[in-house]
Structure 1
Amino acid sequence: MTVRTKPTPAQRIRYICGGTLPNSMAAWVVDDLTGPGAARRYLLRILIPVIGPLCLFLLIPGPLWMGLAMMALLYLPLIYFTIALMNVYRRHRLAEHGLDPALADTHRRQRAAIERQAYERRHGRA
Structure 2
Amino acid sequence: MADTAARPRGWQYLRYCYGAVLPVSMRDWVANDLAGKGAPLRMVVRWAIPCIILMLPMLFVPADWGVRFIMFSPIPIAYVFFSIALNVIYRRHRLEQHGLNPDLVKRNERVRNADLYDEYHRKYRGSAR
Which TM-score band (shorter chain)?
A: 0.7 to 0.9
Report what 2:75 is aligned to: 74
In structure 2, C-alpha distance between the alignment counterparts of 1:8 and 1:79, rounded to whole Å: 26
User: Over residues 98-125 of structure 1, what are the superposed CA-to-partner deviations in whole Å (9 max), with x where a residue is unaligned?
Assistant: 11111111112222313234676xxxx8
**Which runs of 5 or more residues in structure 2 are unaligned?**
none
User: Over residues 40-75 of structure 1, what are the superposed CA-to-partner deviations in whole Å (9 max), with x where a residue is unaligned?
Assistant: 211211112322221211222322211211111111
In structure 1, C-alpha distance between the alignment counterparts of 2:10 and 2:80, rounded to whole Å: 27
Helix, strand or coil for the counterpart of 1:75?
Answer: helix
Report what 1:93 is aligned to: 94
Tell me how far 1:33 sits from its aligned partner.
0.5
RMSD after superposition: 2.1
TM-score of the superposed pair, with normalisation by structure 1:
0.82
Letter in 2 for 1:62: A
Contact in 1 for aligned 2:58/2:72 (Cα 8 Å): yes
**Which runs of 5 or more residues in structure 1 are unaligned?**
none
- Equivalenced residues, count: 120
Contact in 1 for aligned 2:51/2:79 (Cα 8 Å): no
Greater than 6 Å deviation, 4+ residue runs: none
TM-score of the superposed pair, with normalisation by structure 2:
0.80
- Summarize the alignment of residues 40-79 of structure 1 with structure 2, pairs less than 5 Å apart: 40-79=41-80
The percent identity for this pair of structures is 37
Tell me how far 1:9 sits from its aligned partner.
2.2
